[in-house]
Amino acid sequence: AATEQMTALESLVRRAVREQPVWDFHTHLYPPSFGTPFSGAANGADPKGLMLWGIDELLTYHYLVAEVFRVVPARQLPYDDFWRMTKSEQADHIWKHLFLERSPISEACRGVLTTLQRLGLDPGDRDLQGYRGWFAQQDPNRQIDRVMEIAGVSRITMTNAVFDDNERQRWLENQDVGADSRFAAVLRFDPLLCDWPHAAARLTEWGYPVGPTLDDEGVEQGRRFLRDWISRTRAIYCAVSLPPEFLYDGMEDSRISSQVLRRIVAPVLEETNMPLALMIGSKRGVNPQLRDGGDMVGLADVASVARICADLPRNRLFCTMLARENQHELAVAARKFRNLMVFGCWWFVNNPSLIDEITRMRVELLGVSFIPQHSDARVLDQLIYKWDHSRELIANVLVDKYRDVAATGWRPTEAEIRRDVRLYFHDNMANFLASP
């Protein structure tokens, strides 16, 4: 009977995790209004369009590009030769070397297979042309609905990089470009904190005159810039990706990044009641020949994040880190600061063995008060595999945890389990966005 109850509990938990729609905290996805280089069954491909989808994008995801260069010697294929190929040639190359000549057991390879299967295609066919044919018949807009349905995603959070010319232009040219209720905007402005001279030059050029050092007038212009873009994008939060070297030493820290944070970013976010998301630990371009795939990881300084939380109690921070070795300390930091919401397993830690260990650690240290995962999808269809794999791993952890409390006689009800899972997949994010 005890065993039966445990089995029933396990089923409940797995079902709740499977069925709970998720608000994806962070992606690089866009609605069709931002254009797509592959129009499928629709008209009007936009070569510089931002909405990526389809099998060729799946296969040329920068994770897989990085992997294929490992198995094809430089002599056989120099970087430049690869980049000169068409997208389909690149996809063919990756399919050949990572799927056929070796088994596709890396997480990024496996993800392509899961995606195909859940879309109703059969990976067992190994029929790349067939998959291409299927995608060519799909309408990109309807594919968004289909993928969200299959992945159980109720809302997709974009990353809207205001310092990216291609993207900025689209916002300026079309004030409704973001008006797709399936998507929420996030204002991303890395250069403000990472490269002030560059940021200052651009702001000045865009009508917000600021100097290389930060005086009161520069502060005011910086704030105005943020307010304008928050309003233009209707962002739900703001975000920056910071290198592992990022440091914040407290109220007296005169680094330009600390000044910008304290004087420009924090006040505007406080007045707009919006959290800031910090993604820390990506070391840009250690191998520029890999392009998007050329960033590495480095150990970041969790103590700096703790100091920000302490110094800016009227601000709220989302935070994720890239280094495995920061995960424990970051979870501990979240125990210390109610204005710190840990989220997701990012990029190089978004792998099954690491998702398992990180999620386990977080549940043990933080209960249900964190955001277990985000997809970071760059290609629409990836939502399927990212969430499929993560749901299974998160469910494994939760099954263990509910069984542990059930073993004491505590009886979690189905409603309670669904409530907890909703917190993980939706409400923690929504509440943290809403509540000061």
CB 276 within 8 A of CB 269: yes
Size of the site for Zn ion (CB under 5 A): 1
User: Which of the ranges 145-153, 157-165, 329-337, 373-381 carries the binding residues for a second copy, by CB under 8 A?
Assistant: 329-337
The least CB distance from residue 35 to a second copy, in Å, is 30
Instruction: Scan residues 272-301 and list those touching a second copy (CB under 8 A).
Output: 283, 286-287, 290, 293-294, 296-299
The least CB distance from residue 160 to Mg ion, in Å, is 36
The DSSP annotation for 12-80 comes to: HHHHHHHHS-EEES------GGG--S--TTSS---TT-S---SHHHHHT-HHHHHHHHHHS-TTTS-HH
The DSSP annotation for 93-134 comes to: HHIIIIIISS---SHHHHHHHHHHHHTT--GGG--HHHHHHH
Pick from 173, 184, 144, 170: nearest CA to 42: 144
Q: How many residues does the chain have?
A: 436
What is the largest distance, in Å, between two alpha-carbon atoms of the chain? 72
- Is there binding between residue 129 and a second copy (CB under 8 A)? no
Residue 406 exposure: Cα atoms within 13 Å on the Cβ side:
23
Q: Which DSSP symbol is given to 100?
A: I
Instruction: Scan residues 229-258 and list those touching a second copy (CB under 8 A).
Output: none
Among 398, 425, 426, 429, binds a second copy (CB under 8 A): 398
Among 4, 75, 129, 181, binds a second copy (CB under 8 A): 75
Size of the site for a second copy (CB under 8 A): 88
Instruction: Scan residues 354-413 and list those touching Mg ion (CB under 5 A).
Output: 357
Instruction: Scan residues 330-369 and list those touching a second copy (CB under 8 A).
Output: 332-339, 348-349, 351-354, 357, 360-361, 363-369
Residue (57 or 376) nearer to Zn ion, CB = 376
The least CB distance from residue 295 to a second copy, in Å, is 8
Residue for token digits 């066919």?
125
Q: Which does 409 bind (CB under 5 to 8 A by kind): Zn ion, Mg ion, a second copy, none?
A: a second copy
The least CB distance from residue 28 to Zn ion, in Å, is 6
The least CB distance from residue 64 to a second copy, in Å, is 10
Instruction: Scan residues 211-230 and list those touching a second copy (CB under 8 A).
Output: none
Q: How far is 247 from 361, CA to CA, in rounded Å?
A: 25
Instruction: Scan residues 353-382 and list those touching Zn ion (CB under 5 A).
Output: 376
Q: Which DSSP symbol is given to 279?
A: E
Residue 266's CB is within 10 A of a number of other CB atoms, namely 18
Q: Which does 365 bind (CB under 5 to 8 A by kind): Zn ion, Mg ion, a second copy, none?
A: a second copy
Site string for a second copy, 367-396 (x = CB under 8 A): xxx---------------------------
Phi-psi region of 299 (alpha: psi -120 to 50; beta: other; left: phi over 0): beta
Contacts of 422 (CB under 8 A, 6+ apart): 20
The least CB distance from residue 198 to a second copy, in Å, is 23
Q: SS3 of 137, please?
A: coil
Residue numbers of the site for Zn ion (CB under 5 A)?
Answer: 376
Residue numbers of the site for Mg ion (CB under 5 A)?
Answer: 357
